[in-house]
Homo-oligomer: A and B are copies of this chain.
């Protein structure tokens, strides 16, 4: 019985083949990560650290400033926006990425869903055409069915998907091509995170980069330490003695480990953007 269930869950893996070239061997690729908030990219930090180390060029684009999510009554939206930016840059440093590789669209946290979609998609299209990524990392908009996600993640998922589709047509957002010197670009490969576990078809061995991921994760002090309720700056030494261990545990616990090896799991897709969300259809 258990075997059958396993088989059922494994089914999608057979439909969506793993990348021909294992992710662990990728090099020379340009990679764009699109997320909703500073820290959304964290669930790929092991993979990104490895890819950076292997000579790939990585950009992280965050749509909102993350300027809302705190329970500390003293902090204003702009203060939080500044804190989250610094945490993001500090975390990126741990996986080998400098500030030049970070783009933030500046939307208010929690309000991305209300922004004008044609404009937001246009901004994403701009960066896709500018960086011309070989691979996009983003929230999984869902396989065969739409995955339910919190407001900004939902928006991040479908806006990224829509932007990928739009970016490949020179007749859409053509002002960018004529006036900003860009050209249309079709992203050929995708690594989706954050979707249902049953939809994952690719695991990446991040064993050698676990410590980078952990060090990066521990930078999100305002989110995952007691700084969530009482922010005292980026230095964990200024927090209650247990905080450092607590955040480290929290960060480590989120890593998927099997047979002693640490992995990050993705739904990998190769092919035209139009087919990113489903299996073969009539």
Q: What total of chain A residues lie within 8 Å of the partner, measured CB to CB?
A: 77
Closest chain-B Cβ to A195's Cβ sits at a distance in Å of 7
Given the complex of chains A and B, what is the CA–CA distance between A78 and B5 in angstroms?
52
Which of B73, B113, B117, B193 is in CB contact (< 8 Å) with A114? B117
- Per-position binary interface string of chain A over residues 72-88, scored 1 when its CB falls under 8 Å from any chain B CB and 0 otherwise: 01001111111001000
Closest chain-B Cβ to A115's Cβ sits at a distance in Å of 8
B110 touches A179 (CB 8 A): no
Which of B107, B145, B175, B178 is in CB contact (< 8 Å) with A107? B175
Given the complex of chains A and B, what is the CA–CA distance between A104 and B137 in angstroms?
30
In the bound complex, residues from chain B placing their C-beta under 8 Å from that of A26 are: none
A147 within 8 A of B: yes
Chain A residues proximal to chain B, CB less than 8 Å: 1, 4-5, 7-8, 43, 65, 67-70, 73, 76-82, 85, 104-108, 110-111, 113-119, 141-151, 161-162, 165-166, 169-176, 178-180, 193-197, 254, 256, 264-265, 273-274, 277-282
Can you give 16 A-B contacts (C-beta < 8 A)? A68-B169, A76-B171, A78-B171, A81-B179, A104-B175, A104-B179, A106-B174, A106-B180, A110-B172, A142-B148, A144-B148, A145-B146, A146-B146, A147-B278, A195-B281, A197-B280
Beyond A76-B76, A110-B169, A151-B162, 19 extra complex contacts between A and B, CB < 8 Å: A4-B4, A68-B169, A80-B171, A106-B173, A106-B180, A110-B165, A110-B166, A111-B172, A114-B117, A116-B118, A141-B148, A142-B146, A145-B148, A149-B278, A150-B165, A150-B273, A197-B280, A197-B282, A256-B282
